């Protein structure tokens, strides 16, 4: 928890005008980024295709929710009731088999578990480059529902480098002020 209190990019502040609004979501265990489908010269439609969805009509939504995590954890836990101790142990020990989970969603409403961040266009483009760099080669994998899909990703997942740490690292590399070590949702969300 203490690592989440030490800031990276301590001098960062959101722009006073303009910019691109993104969101950080927290479901109690996992954080992810919600980005506009098209903004500041970034168009995600060629990266995450409508054809990858069970129902391509969902690609008409104006935002994407993007999270990174361990493949077995993602695929073996479509509902929290499916979570097993062996799944947690396997992910905590470590795996190089990671995925991006991409959901096509409408613009989220602000809530306790959803926070808005406004980035400068250059910061947003840097964030987009980082997300794109996280994706590995390979075909989409059907998601939990009709509006989402998984994609092979780069990176090593373990108890130190969690999905929440990925969110924190991605925001930090884009230039946003956030904690140095963000393994838990609270260590991400407390900054926004």
User: Which residue, chain included where needed, has tokens 């991605």?
Assistant: 170
**pLDDT for position 1:** 64
Structure tokens, 173: 């590399």
The pTM score is 0.94
Cβ-in-10-Å burial (0-12, 13-18, 19+) of 84 comes to exposed
Please, are residues 72 and 91 in contact by the beta-carbon 8 Å criterion? yes
Cβ-in-10-Å burial (0-12, 13-18, 19+) of 10 comes to exposed
Domain edges within the chain? 2-189
DSSP state of 107: P
Helix (H, G, I), strand (E, B) or coil at 167: helix
User: Which residue, chain included where needed, has tokens 């993007």?
Assistant: 66
Q: Which residues contact 86 (CB under 8 A, 6 or more apart)?
A: none
Low-confidence ranges of the chain (pLDDT < 50): none
Burial 89-112 (b: 16+ CB within 10 A, else e): ebbeeebeebbbbbbbbeebeeee
What is the DSSP secondary-structure string of 53-106? SSSGGGGGSSEEEEEEEEHHHHHH-SSGGG--HHHHHHHHH-BS-EEEEEEEEP
CA 159, 131, 150, 75: dihedral to nearest 10 degrees?
A: 0
- Separation CA 25–CA 85 (nearest Å): 25
**pLDDT for position 49:** 98
């Amino acid at each position: 928890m203490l690592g989440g209190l030490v800031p990276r990019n301590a001098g960062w502040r959101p722009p006073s005008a303009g910019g691109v609004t993104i969101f950080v979501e927290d479901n109690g265990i996992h954080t992810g980024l919600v980005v506009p489908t098209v903004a500041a010269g970034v168009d995600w439609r060629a990266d995450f295709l409508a054809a990858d969805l069970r129902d391509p009509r969902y690609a008409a939504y104006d935002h994407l929710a993007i999270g990174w995590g361990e493949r077995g954890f993602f695929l073996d836990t479509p509902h929290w009731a499916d979570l097993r101790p062996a799944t947690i142990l396997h992910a905590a020990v470590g795996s190089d088999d990671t995925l991006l989970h991409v959901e096509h969603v409408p613009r989220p409403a602000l809530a306790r578990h959803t926070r808005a961040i406004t980035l400068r266009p250059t910061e947003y483009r840097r964030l987009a480059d980082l997300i794109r760099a996280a994706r590995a080669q390979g075909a989409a994998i059907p998601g939990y529902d009709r509006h989402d899909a998984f994609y092979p990703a780069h990176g090593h997942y373990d108890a130190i480098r969690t999905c929440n740490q990925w969110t924190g690292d991605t925001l930090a590399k884009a230039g946003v002020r956030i904690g140095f070590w963000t393994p838990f949702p609270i260590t991400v969300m407390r900054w926004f």
